[in-house]
Structure 1
């Protein structure tokens, strides 16, 4: 009996494979979990890895660790170091394209001392999250720490400075000596040759920044040497050490419309320059002086009867004719000076002041309006230009040289005075002073010889022999007077013992009278001897001492 074979198909999947598959799935899940927990990898480009150690240097946000440096790689082509950093997965949202990184280490700069805690813990990298919605994986390390956190309220503006002092990042901005912000960035613009500053004004002080505010550098001490004298002003101690930027409204002006964010302002060298720059509506005039302009400098005031109406622009004016400066021409002896008539100084509404000036200047010059140099300060020697009317001036009109109208001038008062002084000195030089001085010298020589001879005569009169003889006679006379005084006292005692009216009394009275008469006679002699001791030797009425004469 033939039996048919039965072929039974077995299942292709064996139960035994379930175990390895489960193991593979578990392993894959574990690997995924491991990779997920490791976080996001980013790359940080820096100039050098000073203080940064792979596997040790941490990345922090507000002192909380969010990552660690895993590796450092030298990139020779770009002359840089690339740090591989792993950020914890919980902080992936911090890695926006405008995030900032910098190294925290001990620093001593104009903002103070910082990073001292890293002396023990070591250098770490600070991460400042940005505000962008786009993420990134490649960043560049900053040289300086970020000063303003994104969560700080305020408004940013920009400043440009051509001639002002170069300021550092972190320099304070002050409104009437109160700090309201700071410099956030500083960069030199090689195209405009100016410094560009980014500043941040903290809220709510941004409401002080209107369109008409002015910014100037406040170094803490200002010395102004001008026609008004020497003016020294100082600020606070912090300004003296670090300096700062001051902002305020122009004098006698109120706040204008609030400025928008990123509005650009000019940063002026000082407050005086900031005020000068307000007068941007002006006309240029040329003044030719037939005298020395020593002491006149650019920036000196131009005044009309004490009221400032302009500023000296160029001294001397840079005018060229035939390839040479105008003031070096042989047919021109005057020195040209270029001035600005600033209409904002004449009247607050500068357009009206301009119309008034231009409509009357020709008439004023015909009536005698002239420019002259005036001494502003004798100590500094500074001078300024004064406009005034001179009744003796000849009628003139405005002339023009190139594009500048010319205002006529007159010699200044101190120049005329100098000419008079020079004329007086010339007259003194013409006097025969040499002969007069010679005669005076001969006279002084004769007086000197006379003095020597007189001194010799006095020495002869006061020689030792004459002096001893006079002293001896005076001693004898003094003894006689002493004896006479003693006798008188004795007679007084004797008279006291006798009665009045007796013969002895009368005799004694006569004797006393004679003695009194003798005493009165001797008094003039004693007085004369005291006044002229030599009269015992020489005659009192002898002639005058002979006067030595030249040639005798």
Structure 2
């Protein structure tokens, strides 16, 4: 066999990296990439502490924001002291920057409250955890869940206002806020002031109605039914049924606003007035305090009673005391009042010094304080300041730090004094002697009426009246017909005389003709007399012989 025909093997060098190892390497790279992608896409994990886990199921309960699912509950465990439950949930990565100290979580369940009904959709879909993200604040991953849903969400536009009130009254979270009887907001919270003397109520005004709140806006209480009795009658103001049940707040801005205050800064706290009348009443910054000292009783006068000048409110009563003088054992009642001088408009230019002296000048002219009845039903009193024309000149005095204005007896006290004086004068009258004299006079009158002489005179008077009556009857029967005939004849005679004197009667015509002839004769005589006066010789020579 030929050796040339035997094949020879060729030796080739191979690379150390085999294709067999390429597949695991690719798988490793894909795994690392998937791990990095999963890590990057994984959202933040938060823990939420609730008092109860009712309706929450691990792996099923969703976390929603505006009804859109943004996370899911992973685990539900107990806290170390077993007082609460700790819910661990994973959220979408986009919500990582919104998890701040202001973020809020709560369980959405069906709820029925006085302010409304919410969470009805959970009857079908089941309970879920609602999320209200916070955009500002420090980042946080552990939260305490709310027991009740917040009334105002972070994304809602509007304005928060703080109101200062002496008591909470009937307000509660969810109480409506009205503008012209249209609900534009609600109460979202309340708390005591640090000193415990007042309550701060937080309200939220929805946009765009929040633009109606200005630095001069007034807020007042519209809870319950407001009934006021005055000289104008009974006034009844009833709010909506919801405000009557859970309280309500209304606000408005007085029409008489200075335009220069439009850009003034908003106050931190607005006062909450008791009613609309008190809220819209014009207020003044300048206030002055005076002391009034009354000697009589002051039943019906209370703190807050009005102080009026010429019937117009200018202030109110601040304090009332009862004092006893240990030496004279006399009681007196000091009353501290606060007035607003700017309610009285001064005409003309008056300097500051003259303004301070005006009260003293008024007191010299008769300015006095008096207690008067404000309501007949309640018996409430008020302080009336008025200038008494016949009052003797008075002067201001000083009692401690307060200026004292002279007073006079109240109207009721003055009436009581006058009544007492009248009763004293009646007691001084000899009532018994007057009674005896009246009894004697009555007995004398009775004897005179029953006297025989008076009875005889009355009988004679009755007989005379009977005779006069008979004479009158006879006169009517006999003389009256004759008088009637005489009147008829006189009437006929007058008719005939009227016919004779008529302008168409023959007598009238003849009389007119005779009068005309007499007139012509008179004119002829006048002409003859004139001619003889000019020619007297005609009486001897005749008219025809005159040359």
| TM-score between both structures, scaled by the size of structure 2 | 0.67
Distance apart, 1:423 and its partner CA = 4.9
What residue number does 1:171 align with? 175
Distance 1:259 1:81 in 2: 49
Determine if contact 1:311/1:342 at 8 Å carries over to the other structure.
Answer: no
- SS of the residue corresponding to residue 206 of structure 1 reads helix
Alpha-carbon distance in structure 2 between the residues aligned to 1:101 and 1:22: 44
Alignment of structure 1 residues 91-170 onto 2, 5 Å: 91-132=95-136, 135-163=139-167, 165=169, 167-170=171-174
1:284 corresponding residue in structure 2: 289
Q: Aligned in 2, Cα 1:358/1:257: closer, same or farther, shift over 3 Å?
A: same
Task: Number of aligned residue pairs: give it.
Answer: 420
> Would the aligned equivalents of 2:45 and 2:88 in 1 still touch at CA under 8 Å?
yes
Question: Aligned pair 1:198/2:202, yes or no?
Answer: yes
Rounded Cα–Cα distance in structure 2 between residues aligned with 1:165 and 1:348: 41
Q: Are residues 1:49 and 2:53 paired?
A: yes
In the TM superposition, residue 244 of structure 1 has moved relative to its aligned partner by 1.7
Counterpart of 2:65 (choices 55, 61, 65) is: 61
**1:137-536 map, 5 Å:** 137-163=141-167, 165=169, 167-224=171-228, 230-250=234-254, 252-253=256-257, 256-258=261-263, 263-275=268-280, 278-316=283-321, 326-327=323-324, 329=326, 331=328, 332-347=330-345, 357-423=355-421
Query: What SS does structure 2 have at the residue aligned with 1:334?
Result: strand
CA 1:261–1:295: 2 relative to 1, 3 Å? closer
C-alpha root-mean-square deviation of aligned residues, in Å? 3.8
Query: In 1, Cα distance between the equivalents of 2:104 and 2:346?
Result: 48
Change (3 A) 1:154 1:408: same
CA distance in 1, matches of 2:165, 2:375: 31
Larger radius of gyration: 2
Give the 3 Å change call, closer, same or farther, for CA 48–260 of structure 1 in structure 2: farther
SS at match of 1:247: strand
Preserved CA contact (<8 Å) 1:41 1:84: yes
- Checking the alignment, whether the CA contact within 8 Å between 1:302 and 1:311 is kept in structure 2 is yes
1:164/1:217 contact within 8 Å kept: no
8 Å contact kept, 2:58–2:75: yes
Change (3 A) 1:289 1:221: same
After superposition, give the CA deviation of every residue in 1:456-481 in whole Å (9 maximum; x if it has no partner): xxxxxxxxxxxxxxxxxxxxxxxxxx
* TM-score normalised by structure 1 residue count: 0.66
- Write the distance in 2 (CA, Å) between the matches of 1:352 and 1:142: 63
Structure 2 unaligned regions, length at least 5: 1-12, 433-547
Gaps of at least 5 residues in structure 1 are 1-8, 317-324, 435-552
Contact 1:158/1:262 (<8 A) preserved: no
Shift of 1:139: 2.4
Q: Which runs of 4+ in 1 moved over 6 A?
A: 9-15, 226-229, 351-356, 426-434
